Structure 1
């Protein structure tokens, strides 16, 4: 096979890479879809509980916002499945993988906001309106660390450059950008 068709360290063509990345993406989406669908299903039932009409207006607003966010997250996380179905066999898998990956990222952002909003509502109802902002903020901080900060740190620290096969140089804070491994 031509060298230009093998651009990754895995010795795979663009189509092979797209197939692999699609399979990985769908596995990731399955996990997120399950969580958002369970949460969304639960949210849809809340309005039918006898206590719902007695909730303060502010908590009803939080509920409506949470349901809308859950619906949006569900749409974004199911979007890659529909995308695959509608473009399958059209020889656009690399483009479909990029778009599905973006949809999944948006879905995860919507899922973190849905979960945050649901947590805020539940804790406000459970504590009868007591101050829960710091609890919710702590959980949101944890989500951001687990879902974004840690993966981005690992990506930055351990990405191997395809040209050299080397990791990016580690830099000391305030060092002016010298490479610690080579001293320059």
Structure 2
């Protein structure tokens, strides 16, 4: 094993060896024991899982960004109030940021390609995915708030935006945190 590249190919360890998890975190040791999965295989699986998740979110954020970028060219855009235009610009900015952050793992993969650097790729991409989804959530809140504001007024826009924020906060934040905590408590 190359010490400079801790995720480089290694000889498979014997999962029945009591010292098999020396230096491994509990998750990696479990994967080795239960799945007979080497650290490199684990990183490859984690990367494949992450890519699938990113594909779903990238499609959504690209559609949202594309639609937002066309709004100023619609005839009714001129009727928006200053506050509505500010909400639109902030929302569009958040959507563009989310697009960049969610696509960043692709560029990182290109830069690290063939360098046997799967571990930093997976770790950085995990952070990009979380940051991108959080930013996408804020963009969705902005879109919902703006639509309700334009159609029903500022109060409805505020209520709808807060409702969307609460919904996404629960589904994307609270529920995963509770499930993770309960899993660890066992």
Q: Which runs of 5+ in 2 are unaligned?
A: 1-11, 14-19
Question: Residues of 1 paired with 2:47 and 2:90: CA distance?
Answer: 32
Question: Residues of 1 paired with 2:142 and 2:62: CA distance?
Answer: 15
1:158 aligns with 2:174: no
1:52 aligns with 2:77: yes
1:118 aligns with 2:143: yes
Q: How does 1:7-46 map to 2 (within 5 A)?
A: 7-11=28-32, 12-46=37-71
Q: Which consecutive aligned stretches of 4+ in structure 1 deviate over 6 angstroms post-superposition? A: none
* C-alpha RMSD of the superposition: 1.6
| Secondary structure of the structure 1 residue equivalent to 2:156 | coil
Question: Residues of 1 paired with 2:106 and 2:39: CA distance?
Answer: 21
**1:97 aligns with one of 103, 122, 129:** 122
Aligned to 1:75: 100
Bigger fraction of residues in helix: 2
Equivalences, count: 161
Deviation at 1:130, TM superposition (A): 4.4
C-alpha contact 1:70 1:114 (8 A) present in aligned 2: yes
TM-score by length of 2: 0.81
> Per-residue CA shift, 1:74-132, capped at 9, x if unaligned?
00000111111221110110111000000111001100110011111111011144433
| Secondary structure of the structure 2 residue equivalent to 1:131 | helix
Deviation at 1:36, TM superposition (A): 0.7
Mark the CA change 1:5 to 1:17 in structure 2 (over 3 Å): closer, same or farther: farther
**1:64 aligns with one of 81, 89, 95:** 89
| Secondary structure of the structure 2 residue equivalent to 1:51 | helix
Question: Residues of 1 paired with 2:154 and 2:181: CA distance?
Answer: 42
